[in-house]
Amino acid sequence: MKRHGILNSHISKVLADLGHTDFIVIADAGLPIPEGVAKIDLALTAGTPSFQDVVDAVVDDMVVEKVIFASEIEDVNGKTANFLTQKFSDVTMEQISHEEFKQRTKQAKVIIRTGEITPYANCILQSGVFF
């Protein structure tokens, strides 16, 4: 058994397999999953686990060089927008339309679905390298 980091074996494997510039998506419960993209469904009940809890756990185990999120979040979900801008203040951030966001998810290695039920609580995490 692992002593530290992500215990979910599916997420742990995905993170270990990421290469530079590969990306994953952490999504709210409503984001559509494109056909052919792997999904790891963590949703238990409305709000559990939260988007923030999943982002925190994944980022502790992943080198992130860029985060992408929908520009609409700032007008509709200020709490999550603030969380993202504070959490990723030291990496490149890109805001795109929600429609473009959904298009980009088609190239994700995996989409991790949370139980989050607030609007636009989604982000794309692009993998960096630790060296």
Q: Detail the residues annotated as belonging to a binding site for substrate.
A: 28, 98, 120-122
What is the secondary structure of 77-118 as a DSSP string? -HHHHHHHHHHTTTSEEEEE-HHHHHHHGGG-S-EEE-S--S
Q: Please state, in angstroms and rounded to a whole number, the distance separating the CA atoms of residues 80 and 69.
A: 10
- Residues at the annotated binding site? 28, 98, 120-122
Give the catalytic positions in this structure.
20
Torsion-angle region of 95 (φ positive above 0: left; ψ -120 to 50: alpha; else: beta)? beta
